[in-house]
Structure 1
Amino acid sequence: MAVTQRRLSLAASSGSLDSVAGSEKPSDEKCADEFVYTKHAEDGVFAWMVVLAGCVQAMITLGASRAHGVYQEYYMVDEFAQMSTATVSWIGSVQNTTLNLCGVFVGILSQVLDTRIMCAAGSLLMGLAFILASLSTQVWQLVLTQGVMYGAAASFPYILGVTVPLQWIKRRRGLALAVVYMGSGVGGMWISILTRYCIDTVGRAWSHRIIGFIMIAVGVGLSPLIMSRRPARRPERILDLTVVREWRFLFIAVASFFAMGPNTIPYILLPTYTADVLKESSRLGSTLVTIINVSGIFGRFVAGVLSDRFGPVNMLIVWTLLAAFSQLGIWLPFPTVRAAVASAALFGVTGASIVGMILNALSHQYGVTRITYISGLIYMTYSVSSLLVVQTTSLMLDTVGHGTNYTWPIVYTGLLLVVAGVVLVAFRIKLSPRIAFVV
């Protein structure tokens, strides 16, 4: 009790978030009784094992989504060459939309079900989705299997894999999230390489089967570690929307809508951009996706360390504006291989880290006891934005760009990130106008 009072007095004297917001901020200490304290302590060895398990879950879920550009290029150039970009893009856009849209349902179910069982079931179904995709020969079939079924199933190990570890880590939460999301970069890297190799050697169908079997084996095998510290119990309200009316949530939701929507565009457009504009081989397109994922590993680590030091909101502003610069300052004005490589590298460091940094900001604003549910609401905004942005970008490329001019899709992506940066700056000022304020 004395510790809590001392913290509140220090917060009041330093102009902290509580005094700025005019309301009491939820704290993990006040919800400590909601946790199940077993022999495994927070910040201990087991806690970091949960973090590593979350890292691998992100690797096979979000990593596979990040590698979709390889499939997109194959569909556009070979299997469905006669179809428009907008039509084929439904596979990837529906996949990403469903992956995030189901986050709120994962959050609700995580309050009443064992997270380990949920994670295992999702891993099994997402692997089966890829195996069924290997039997699909039409775009609509791939939309249902590689898109809807995979996205809905993968949301379970993905959402749980990135939120449950937060319940176990307190002192280095930014670093823990960085480690978890580094998995998506690692996964995007090796899954892109493996997918390209399999397509070239054994064909697209077997590439789907091989990835599907890996998802099942790895995902189900690591599910026992995705163990929530909260007891499974029925909440007072299944769908509690009171948080939606809070100004902090609204700011973060609007920022995520503009920032995370264009998050997948470079992954999707760069492979076809290299063939249509740079006139380079398909291998360069796969290499650019790999560059994004490799640099994302470094970017997530740096973002996590700096967020622990300077605050997640502060670093989120910097990373978002740098991501916008990678599109508007490098990719747009310089249609060269070197510029494409530089843009991919900078976007990998910054843009690929935005999702994890937003989740880190949420944990600092609301604590971690309900982070799975609250983050699920944020991921809903991401899912709507992702669908709108991907389809709008594809329509721009088909209509204004006539399939070969990428100017307006790049401008559109960059401007969305600029708007997100402006919203975050306004949020930061409302939290505190002090430049040196860590938030």
Structure 2
Amino acid sequence: MELQKFDGRTRHDKRNANHFRDTSSAEQMAIESGDDNHNVAHATKSTHDTDSAPDGGFTAWMQVVGGGIVNTFGVYQTYYESGELFQTSSTTISWIGSVQTFCLLFIGALTGPVFDAGYFRALLYAGSFLVVFGQMMLSLCTELWQVVLAQGICIGIGTGLLFVPSVAIISTYFSKKLALAMGFAASGSGSGGVIYPIVFHRLQPAIGFAWATRVIGFMMLATLLIPLAVMRVRILPPKARKLIDWSAFSDVPYMTYVLGTLVGYMGLFVPFFYISYYAIQQKFTDENLGFYMLPILNSASIFGRLLPNIFADKLGVLNTIIPCSFITSIIAFCLIRVDSQASIIATAVLYGFFSGVYVSLPPTILVFLTPDRSLVGTRLGQGFATISFGVLISTPVAGAILGTDSWTHTWIYSGVLLFVASCSFVAVRVLKGEGGVNVAH
């Protein structure tokens, strides 16, 4: 295999390329291990040559192990609503989580091309530091603006630096099993969404907000050591990329999907942010069980991120997300009629499971809607950057509806947006397929 040294700034001339053809086995091991002086092994196989993807093996699956992203804001939303840390409205509190999720997605517009330029390890180190640093700074916060800076902006930027590169690197290791690999990676963030809220809920009354938050910070540090240890770039594009792929804006299926997902994400996160508060405020559960609504939802989401992806590799990603998306919108409407402990638990489980496709399949679909695999990083970045604006305004709007109206209209808001997104996915299905089963496959 021909190897070419790639330092993210310059491509070496032909003389240096010839030198690396004769690289010793020891130096090659240094390249593949991520040594700072030999950062990336760049195969002569093209990034859009999907036949070269290993589709398995120890190294490939290690990239999946390192690919999970943590998001547990829902439990903090409920805690902040209690007024123990500061007093403010539901709408204002929602901005914290919205800013965090917005930063996660929008930063992808920058990290995609940066990843393509060969700075994957730098993104991984910087993102890991900011996530842990932001969590530790959150433990010192006593006012709203401090929480916005630590939890909203610092952690948000950190997760943004990790998100698109983690997705993009998996797409270079998998082709036929890509949806399954993405599902396993996404289930990692679902696991964090189960464990961290429980840790916070159990520790906060005993040791206080500050130390409960620090414990989660140490757990995040331990978790992030896994991708730092195992994630390695397999191939990189042969040349630098622009920040934006302007041709994507004339790609009707791609843009229809991006805008549809933007609308879907506006509705998606409303139950994630509010279901615990809803259960407690409406007295469907006591305060203790109410806090567990988010872990219950996230537990079901783990299976919802994984099981549909198993079928997606065989049935096609669009054929999988469409029915799950419609069911998710129906379940959001069902929250209107919840009136007991049993019904809200059942609804949380069902919503968590079927909404899981919104986490695991969108990156996969964006990859499949990008015929030229060398543009994956850029198109993922600009796609999620566009989607991020929907996330930014989503839950604050829901909080405003709740503050001036009722829970009924809050759930209608969520359900309608999810339904519109489902219809847009059908439109992409029609645009991309002519009756074939493996659409966007």
Q: Contact 1:184 / 1:293 at 8 angstroms: preserved in 2?
A: no
What residue is the counterpart of 1:241 in the other structure? 246
Distance 1:337 1:433, change over 3 A: farther
Matched residue SS, 2:356? helix
Matches within 5 A, 1:32-431: 32-34=45-47, 41-54=54-67, 58=68, 61=69, 63=70, 65=71, 67-80=72-85, 82-231=87-236, 235-328=240-333, 330-367=334-371, 368-401=373-406, 406-431=407-432
Distance 1:437 1:234, change over 3 A: closer
Distance 1:437 1:47, change over 3 A: closer
Q: Which amino acid aligns with 1:126?
A: V
Residue 222 of structure 1, CA deviation: 2.4
Per-residue Cα deviation, 1:127-186 (whole angstroms, up to 9, x for no partner): 001111111111111001110111001112232223311210122111111111111111
Q: Contact 2:260 / 2:421 at 8 angstroms: preserved in 1?
A: yes
Q: Contact 1:192 / 1:290 at 8 angstroms: preserved in 2?
A: yes
Matched residue SS, 2:369? helix
Q: Which amino acid aligns with 2:423?
A: V
Task: Tell me the TM-score normalized by structure 2.
Answer: 0.84
Q: Which amino acid aligns with 1:104?
A: A
**Greater CA drift, 145-154 or 367-376:** 367-376
1:400 and 1:311 map into 2 onto residues whose CA distance is 41
Matched residue SS, 2:265? helix
2:47 and 2:164 map into 1 onto residues whose CA distance is 20
Aligned residues with identical type, % of pairs: 25
1:46 and 1:318 map into 2 onto residues whose CA distance is 34
Per-residue Cα deviation, 1:223-243 (whole angstroms, up to 9, x for no partner): 242222233775253433222
Task: Tell me the TM-score normalized by structure 1.
Answer: 0.84
Distance 1:160 1:236, change over 3 A: closer
Q: Contact 2:103 / 2:157 at 8 angstroms: preserved in 1?
A: yes
Residue 52 of structure 1, CA deviation: 1.4
Q: Contact 2:63 / 2:170 at 8 angstroms: preserved in 1?
A: yes
Residue 104 of structure 1, CA deviation: 1.0
Residue 292 of structure 1, CA deviation: 1.2
2:248 and 2:240 map into 1 onto residues whose CA distance is 15
Per-residue Cα deviation, 1:29-73 (whole angstroms, up to 9, x for no partner): xx9334899x9955222111111121xxx2xx3x3x2x2111111
Distance 1:197 1:370, change over 3 A: farther
2:423 and 2:55 map into 1 onto residues whose CA distance is 36
Residue 279 of structure 1, CA deviation: 4.9
Q: Contact 2:53 / 2:173 at 8 angstroms: preserved in 1?
A: no
Distance 1:34 1:185, change over 3 A: closer
Residue 433 of structure 1, CA deviation: 4.3
Report the number of matched residues.
395
Q: Which amino acid aligns with 1:355?
A: V
1:373 and 1:203 map into 2 onto residues whose CA distance is 43
Q: Which runs of 5+ in 2 are unaligned?
A: 1-43
Residue 100 of structure 1, CA deviation: 0.9
2:382 and 2:290 map into 1 onto residues whose CA distance is 34
Per-residue Cα deviation, 1:349-407 (whole angstroms, up to 9, x for no partner): 11122132111112222154332321111211221111111111000011113xxxx11
What residue is the counterpart of 1:17 in the other structure? none
Per-residue Cα deviation, 1:286-336 (whole angstroms, up to 9, x for no partner): 2211111111111122111110111001111111101001111x2112322
Q: Contact 1:119 / 1:223 at 8 angstroms: preserved in 2?
A: yes
- Superposition CA RMSD, Å: 2.3
